């Protein structure tokens, strides 16, 4: 199931009724404004490129990669044509160039069928995507939330979600997996929406709860 405006309205009502802390976050942040990424391949490439570098550096590398791909666009069929040296020429590290090449190869040959992912369960999507070098469970969960629009994904290892839980639920330290799941139990079956609100809550000033910027991009 992919989130629709009707689902989002239901999710907000459920979360506000089920969890007073989440109610305060939702009231402060406002409407759920996430726009899903339609280009599945491009999102996966972006997740590889952006890892552990600044936003501006990632943007510059993506632009050069798009230029390398040419006018027909950033597709697996295009990128699979390039050698590792050519991929590194746009600013990718050797490791990331290998990851992009592996993604392009597996998508191009059909080992990972991006067109069919919407028909799979969340766990099946994770199993498919983690066949690709450089894509672990966290990246697969981000794909579930930001591309497929799945409603009930809890990325308990995500630093932003853990930080928001610690700060908003008054914990002394970052929660472990068991604590995160216990706190998130009332969020079901809308954990993806609650996770998005957790990310956005990090952009609220601690005292006034005023939105200062969006997260994540």
Residue 212 inside a domain? The answer is no
Per the DSSP assignment, residues forming a β-bridge with 204 are 211
Q: What is the pLDDT of residue 205?
A: 52
Overall average pLDDT of the 88-116 stretch? 96
Report if residue 103 sits inside a domain. yes
* pLDDT at residue 211 tops 50: no
- Asked if the structure places residue 48 within a domain, the reply is yes
For the cut 70, the answer to whether the pLDDT of residue 102 exceeds it is: yes
**pLDDT, tens only, 140-186:** 999 999 999 999 999 999 999 999 999 999 999 999 999 999 999 99
Supply the range of the domain harboring residue 170: 5-35+153-201
Task: Report d(CA 129, CA 77) in Å as an integer.
Answer: 18
Residue 186's CATH number: 1.10.1670.40
Question: What total number of domains does the chain contain?
Answer: 2
In a domain, 217, yes or no: no
Q: At a CB cut-off of 8 Å and minimum separation 6, what does 193 contact?
A: 3, 8, 11, 12, 15, 32, 151, 187
Which residues, listed in sequence order, are joined to residue 211 by a DSSP beta bridge? 204
- pLDDT tens string 177-189: 999 999 999 999 9
Q: 214 in a domain, yes or no?
A: no
Q: Which residue has the higher pLDDT, 203 or 17?
A: 17
pLDDT at 72: 85
Residues 83 and 121 placed together within one structural domain of the fold: yes
pLDDT in tens, 49-94: 998 889 999 999 999 999 999 988 899 999 999 999 999 999 999 9
User: Based on the domain organization, do 106 and 180 belong to the same domain?
Assistant: no
User: Mean pLDDT score of the chain, rounded to an integer?
Assistant: 92
Active site residue 158: yes
Same domain, 30 and 68: no
pTM above 0.85, yes or no: yes
Give exposure, 169-187, as e/b (b: 16+ Cβ within 10 Å).
eeeeeebeeebbeebbebb
Does residue 212 carry a pLDDT above 80? no
- The answer to the question of residue 165 being in a domain is yes
Q: Which of 19, 158, 176, 203 is catalytic?
A: 158
CATH assignment at residue 137:
1.10.340.30
pLDDT for residue 124 is more than 50: yes
Angle between helices 40-49 and 55-69 (to 10 degrees): 130
The pLDDT value given to residue 204: 81
């Amino acid at each position: 199931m992919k989130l629709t405006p009707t689902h989002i309205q239901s999710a907000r009502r459920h979360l506000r009724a089920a969890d007073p802390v989440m109610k305060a976050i939702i009231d402060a942040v406002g409407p759920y404004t996430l726009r899903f990424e339609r280009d599945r391949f491009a999102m996966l490439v972006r997740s590889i490129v952006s890892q552990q570098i600044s936003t501006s550096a990632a943007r510059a590398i993506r632009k050069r990669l798009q230029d390398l791909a040419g006018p027909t666009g950033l597709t697996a069929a295009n990128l699979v044509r390039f050698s590792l040296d050519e991929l590194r020429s746009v600013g990718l590290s050797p490791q990331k160039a290998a990851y992009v090449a592996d993604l392009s190869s597996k998508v191009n040959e059909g080992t990972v069928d991006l067109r069919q992912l919407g028909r799979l369960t969340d766990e099946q999507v994770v199993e498919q995507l983690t066949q690709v070098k450089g894509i672990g469970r966290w990246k697969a969960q981000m794909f579930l939330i930001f591309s497929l629009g799945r409603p009930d994904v809890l990325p308990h290892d995500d630093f932003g979600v853990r930080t928001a839980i610690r700060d908003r639920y008054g914990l002394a330290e970052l929660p472990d997996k068991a604590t995160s799941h216990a706190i998130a139990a009332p969020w079901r079956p809308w954990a993806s929406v609650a996770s998005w609100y957790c990310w956005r809550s990090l952009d609220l000033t601690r005292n006034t709860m005023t939105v200062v910027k969006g997260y994540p991009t």
